[in-house]
Structure 1
C-alpha cells in the first residue's frame, strides 16, 4: 500500500465496515507506522481489499478510530488492525494468502504471535487461519465498543517450550 492508495482504501472501508467508521488519519497513521504491514488488493475494477497491520502490545488492542502516532517500542505481538475485502473478492483465497504473508512477516520480526479483534461475524474465518478466541475480562469493555460479537483472538507463531 502507498499513500496514493489511501483514498481507495477509505472508500472500501466505508462500504465494508459502515458500523466501524475510522477517520482518514487512522489509515495514514497505520501506513506510516508500519508500511511493510499494509497492502491493497487490486482487481480488474481497482481496489477490492486491504490489510493494515503492525507490531504492537499483546493483550492491548488499539481503540477503534485511534491514531497511534508511535510504533510499539517493545512489541510483543503482530496486530492485524483490519483485513477487509469486498464481498465479490471473498472466497478467492486472497484473505488466507495475506494472512500467511503476515504470519511470515511477524515470524521474521521474531514476534511470538499475531492478534486481532474479530468483528462482522468473522470468527470462523480467523479460526480457519489458526486464531483462537482469548477470553480476558479486562478487554470486555473495549470489545463492546466494537459490537456485541467482537472477539479478541490470537495465533501463536512460536511454540512455547514445555
Structure 2
C-alpha cells in the first residue's frame, strides 16, 4: 500500500526515521488504522513483516517514543504483491526486488517532506544491497505522489485480480535503482 496524498505542510524537526522495534507495533497498527481504513492490516501482519526483514522496517518517531509513521519493505517477486492482511510463511527463495509494502503517516505528521527522506533512504539501502528496483502498489489515488519519487506505473495484467482487491485506483509501480 502507499501513502495517500494530503496533509498540511509544516516542518517536523523533532521527528526522524529509525529502525522499527517490536515495541513499536501497537503504534504502527494505530497509524495504519487511521491511514488505511479500507485496507486495514492488523498486528500479526506487522509483526510478521518485522520478523521476516527488519532491515526494511522503519518508524517515524520522536526519539524512542511517539511513533507517527512507518515504512515496511522486503525482498519479493516482480509483478507480484502479497495478499492484504496476511501472514506470509517466508520471503521468496529467489526474490527479484524490494517490495515497499506500506508507507503511512499519522494525519498530524503529514507534510514537511518526511516521506521523501525515508523513500530515499530505502532506495539507497536497496541499491547498496544490489537490488535492481523497488516495487509497490499505489492506492488511494497516490500515483502522482509516487511518480514524484521516481516510481513509474507498470502494466500488470497478471496482477489484475490482486490489484482489484486493493480498489479501482490501485496501480503497480516500479522505481528502477
Contact preservation (8 Å) 1:75, 1:111 = no
Please, what TM-score do these two structures have when normalized by structure 1?
0.92
Equivalent residue pairs, number: 157
Whether contact under 8 Å (2:34, 2:107) holds in the other structure is no
Q: Greater RCO between the two (CA within 8 Å, min separation 6)?
A: 2
Say which of 37, 41, 45 aligns to 1:18: 37
Aligned position for 2:92 = 72
TM-score (norm 2): 0.85
> Where in structure 1 do 4 or more consecutive aligned residues deviate above 6 Å?
none
Distance (whole Å) between structure 2 residues aligned to residue 152 and residue 52 of structure 1: 17
Match status 1:38 vs 2:57: yes
Q: In structure 2, the residue corresponding to 1:145 is in which secondary structure?
A: helix
Gaps of 5+ in 1: 158-162
* Residue segments in structure 2 that go unaligned for 5+ positions in a row: 1-19
Please list the CA deviations of residues 4-25 of structure 1 after superposition, one character each: whole Å capped at 9, or x if unmatched. 0000100111111110011211
Equivalent residue for 2:102?
Answer: 82
**Aligned: 1:147 with 2:167:** yes
